[in-house]
Structure 1
Amino acid sequence: MENQAWGANSFVGGSLCLDFANTQGGRDKTRDDERLPSYLAAIGWAHGANMVSEDEVRLLQAVALQKPVETARSLQQLRLFRESLYRLFSALVSNQAIDPADEECLRRAVAEAVNLANLQRHPDGCDWSVEVEDAGLNTLSSRIALDAQRLLLSSEMPYVRECERCTWLFVDRSKNKRRRWCKTETCGNRARAARHYQLKKI
């Protein structure tokens, strides 16, 4: 696993699929900061997000190292899926039309995930469970796709927001539902500093 720090500030989306979309970004609306330079880095992120266990990390690392060509292809597909997810949620948040290609990308990802999954019982119902042994390098994208489906169909979807300064997405769980920034200490402070600078110029 590559040495990448995935602290609490990396997981502000409130949902696995949104945190995944937030692995690309930057200080403004340009998505030019790639945080998944390799598939091993993606495994590290998934572990930081509590999406995979220690045992699953070892299994995925072994597969990734044994199949470099397939792993490189999986990384490319994972990044394309991430950008498609970002565009879809961003369009929904801003009440814009969804690109049919992005809708089809998610539909296909969900269908493939369900095809690999097993139905698992929980105290409050059932859910699809994707095992590394069945999905291999597709484990990450499959689990993310199923999480995206859950969010889209949940009562929290109307409260998904996009940071006013950068492209990060989050579920607004604030009491008054007026959260504007992914992180107050970064984008919030930068926005206030920029506003202060503009006021001084007047």
Structure 2
Amino acid sequence: MTFSWTQRQFVGGALCLDFANTVFYANDAERRGDRLRHASDIASWLEAACRFGAAGCYAPMLAVAADAFDVAAVADMLTLRQAVDDLFRAVAIEHAPSSLAMRRVLFELGSALSQTEIATGPDGLFPTLAASRPQTPVTARAAIAHSAIALSASPLSGRLKTCPNCSWIFVDRSRNASRLWCDMLTCGNRAKARRYHEVHREPAKT
């Protein structure tokens, strides 16, 4: 059974970040979880990314059916996801981005050039599906890779943060860059409840 996606899973602020955030508690080995284990999970996520607005202009490249993902294609998606995570998790903590991760992202975009055309949108140039070309795992990876390249070149890369609860990466678009949690209604409230119980915990009896 595939995971039932909601808007809650698309709070990163960019397609590439939402893709990386399919792993939760990435910095906690004991609680780490992964929403993308099978081809059906990936196809379900791609459809949800379009439905909940995270895909934006990349949507035409993401309508890939589960049966298009063989074992190698699933592995390639997960390798790209790790590269995106490595790239932006470093940026979020003000470390130098990984050159290896960036090379992987560029490779994924370059591998799809023959299947894409260049379009112009409000945020500049972006790849879109070439006429009469089908969506494939390659075009899906190219869309995510271009999202990562666009974000890395954007001033928004200076507003990247990691959630102190679930470790998701997100763009802080708040006016004074004061956003702390990926989502206040979930991680924020959980942290508040945890702090409340810690403060009001009954002292241990001696």
> TM-score of the superposition, structure 1-length normalised?
0.81
- Point out the structure with the larger helix share: 1
Structure 1 residue 37 displacement after superposition:
2.0
Give, in whole Å, the separation in 2 of the partners of 1:199 and 1:56. Answer: 47
Structure 1 residue 92 displacement after superposition:
0.6
CA spacing shift, 1:137–1:125, aligned 2, 3 Å: closer
Structure 1 residue 111 displacement after superposition:
2.4
Structure 1 residue 164 displacement after superposition:
1.5
- Asked if the contact 1:110/1:149 (under 8 Å) is kept, the reply is no
**CA root-mean-square deviation:** 2.8
**Match of 1:191?**
191
**Match of 2:37?**
37
Give, in whole Å, the separation in 2 of the partners of 1:37 and 1:84. Answer: 17
**Match of 2:80?**
81
Question: Among the aligned pairs, what percent are the same residue?
Answer: 28
CA spacing shift, 1:100–1:27, aligned 2, 3 Å: closer
**Match of 2:8?**
9
- 1:120 equivalent to 2:119? Answer yes
- Asked if the contact 1:88/1:99 (under 8 Å) is kept, the reply is yes
CA spacing shift, 1:108–1:34, aligned 2, 3 Å: same
**Match of 1:138?**
138
Structure 1 residue 43 displacement after superposition:
1.6
**Match of 1:177?**
177
Structure 1 residue 79 displacement after superposition:
1.0
Q: Which moved more, 1:168-177 or 1:85-94?
A: 168-177
**Match of 2:24?**
25
Q: Match of 2:139, as an amino acid?
A: T
Give, in whole Å, the separation in 2 of the partners of 1:158 and 1:180. Answer: 15
* 1:155-170 alignment runs, 5 A limit: 155-170=155-170
- Asked if the contact 1:130/1:142 (under 8 Å) is kept, the reply is no
- Asked if the contact 1:84/1:102 (under 8 Å) is kept, the reply is yes
Cα deviation per residue 1:124-149 (whole Å; 9 max; x = unaligned)?
75432135935622121110001111
Give, in whole Å, the separation in 2 of the partners of 1:192 and 1:42. Answer: 33
Structure 1 residue 19 displacement after superposition:
0.5
Secondary structure class of the residue paired with 2:146:
helix
- Asked if the contact 2:24/2:32 (under 8 Å) is kept, the reply is yes
Structure 1 residue 84 displacement after superposition:
1.7
Cα deviation per residue 1:170-192 (whole Å; 9 max; x = unaligned)?
11111221111111122112222
Q: Which moved more, 1:18-27 or 1:129-138?
A: 129-138
Structure 1 residue 75 displacement after superposition:
0.7
- Asked if the contact 1:78/1:141 (under 8 Å) is kept, the reply is yes
CA spacing shift, 1:154–1:115, aligned 2, 3 Å: farther
Give, in whole Å, the separation in 2 of the partners of 1:182 and 1:92. Answer: 16
Secondary structure class of the residue paired with 2:12:
coil
**Match of 1:71?**
70
CA spacing shift, 1:100–1:137, aligned 2, 3 Å: same
Flag structure 2 segments of 5+ consecutive residues without an equivalent: none
